[in-house]
Every structure is written in structure tokens, then in C-alpha cells.
Amino acid sequence: MKLFKEILPYLLIIIIVIIIRTFIITPVRVNGDSMEPTLIDKEIVLLKKYDKKYNRFDIVVFNDERGHLIKRIVGLPGETLYYSNNKLFINGKYVKEDFLSSNEETYDYELDTVIPEGYYFVMGDNRDNSTDSRIIGLVPSEDILGTTSFVLYPFNRFGNI
């Protein structure tokens, strides 16, 4: 009985940590440079698993055959997405992508698509070097694990994105 009382606090801590990592938040490592300059290769970000309401330009983590990918939501379900001359149009209206630096506007492609319900169009911030919806297609909502907006490591970049 005395041994059980000594072990109980440690068991509770382990259970709480498992619950937090399973359902609330967990660290995720950035692999590659497709989200530069917003996220840098090998950074550790916090994935908010509880966040299931996705908005335009949220950064999400989702499952893919290559593992976890981190991209930015550009197009939402039910929208008509059109890219031309490096400019994004949603339902016929121009939408400025403030997170892209002026030197990032070198990507060149044409796109015109309607996003069905339950799917999202995602892109990396480094448009010239990103495997995103232009290549892998639309991302089903059930594959999205959650959002991220906080860099945990390295400490010199610690904080909100």
C-alpha cells in the first residue's frame, strides 16, 4: 500500500502527459524548406490538435503518404480558387497574401479550381519549392491533424508565428 501511494503521483503525471499529447497539443518537427521564411527546416512547432475550425491562411499539419506535412490553407471548401500572374483570387476577388515576401512572388503557374466540401487547398510559403495541393491534390479535412501557430524550438525563434 505504501508503494502504491509513492507511485500514484508519477502515474497520474504520466497519464496527464499522455492525454495532453494525444488530444490537446504535441510537438511536430518541420521537415524541409517548403514553409520558409515562416517556418525553417528542423524547427519544432506546437500542433494544436483540438483546433478543428480551419480558416484561410492557417498553418496546418496533415497526414500524407510521405508522413506529416505542414502547409498553409489557401482555399476553403466551396470556394472557387484562381491563381494567375502570382495573384490569388477567391470567388473572383483578389486576396493579398501578406505572409509572402516580395521576392517570393517568383512562382509561375495557372490554376482554376472549385474546392468541394470537406477538402482544402494548401500551399507552402516557399512556392517554388513546395509539394502542396498543386502536386498532391486537395487535402481531405479528416487528414488534417490540427493547426500550428507557435515555434517551440530553436529558442531564438520561440513564440507565435
- Considering the candidates 5, 42, 52, 71, report the single residue annotated as catalytic: 71
* pLDDT higher than threshold 70 for residue 144: yes
Identify whether the C-beta of residue 84 lies closer than 8 Å to the C-beta of residue 150. Answer: no
Higher pLDDT, 33 or 110: 33
Predicted pLDDT of residue 102 = 59
Predicted pLDDT of residue 32 = 94
What is the tens place of the pLDDT at every residue in 12-71?
Answer: 999 999 999 999 999 999 999 999 999 999 999 999 999 899 999 999 999 988 889 999
* pLDDT higher than threshold 90 for residue 153: yes
Q: Active site includes 52?
A: no
Model confidence at 108, pLDDT cuts 50, 70, 90, reads low
Identify whether the C-beta of residue 62 lies closer than 8 Å to the C-beta of residue 51. Answer: no
Predicted pLDDT of residue 4 = 79
Identify whether the C-beta of residue 56 lies closer than 8 Å to the C-beta of residue 145. Answer: no
* pLDDT higher than threshold 70 for residue 88: yes
Higher pLDDT, 84 or 139: 139
Model confidence at 146, pLDDT cuts 50, 70, 90, reads very high
- Considering the candidates 2, 5, 34, 102, report the single residue annotated as catalytic: 34
Please enumerate in sequence order all residues whose Cβ is within 8 A of that of 74, keeping only pairs 6 or more positions apart, or say none.
Answer: 56, 57, 81, 88, 97, 121, 122, 123, 133
* pLDDT higher than threshold 80 for residue 10: yes
CB burial of 123-161 (b: ≥16 within 10 Å; e: otherwise) equals: bbbbbeebebbbeeebbeeeebbbbbeebbeeeeeeeee
* pLDDT higher than threshold 90 for residue 110: no
What value does the mean pLDDT of the chain take? Answer: 90
Please enumerate in sequence order all residues whose Cβ is within 8 A of that of 30, keeping only pairs 6 or more positions apart, or say none.
Answer: 39, 40, 41, 42, 43, 44, 45, 70
The CATH number of 2-152 is which of 1.10.10.410, 2.10.109.10, 3.30.930.10, 1.20.140.10?
A: 2.10.109.10
> What residue spans define the domains of the chain?
2-152
Q: Active site includes 71?
A: yes
